[in-house]
Amino acid sequence: MTFVITEPCLDVKDGRCVDVCPVDCIFTTTADRMFFINPDECIDCSACESACPVDAIFPESRVPENWASFIAVNAEFFQRVKT
């Protein structure tokens, strides 16, 4: 399981989640409107979840149904930045 950042992060990019991540697996680019968690690097420590000021981070298995599309959005970010 990994954690997923969802819609409340859009246009917020507060960065507290990045600051608390012990493995530095949260990324963004200047062009993106939010942060993304690398599922291959996330150690499921949940530090980011409690640090998020807008409650945008969930374990993948508990992403609210209305934000389930962000699971794919997260995966697509890492496919895009690989190339």
Query: What tens digit of pLDDT does each residue of 38-79 get?
Result: 999 999 999 999 999 999 999 999 999 999 999 999 989 998
Tokens of 55: 């409650």
In 3-state terms, what secondary structure has residue 34? coil
How many domains is the chain partitioned into structurally?
A: 1
pTM above 0.85, yes or no: yes
Query: What tens digit of pLDDT does each residue of 11-41 get?
Result: 999 999 999 999 999 999 999 999 999 999 9
Q: List the domain range (segments joined by +) for residue 14.
A: 3-82
CB 13 within 8 A of CB 36: no
Instruction: Report which residue type is found at 56.
Output: A
We report the CATH number of the domain holding residue 73 as 3.30.70.20
Closest Cα to residue 16, out of 46, 51, 49, 45? Answer: 51
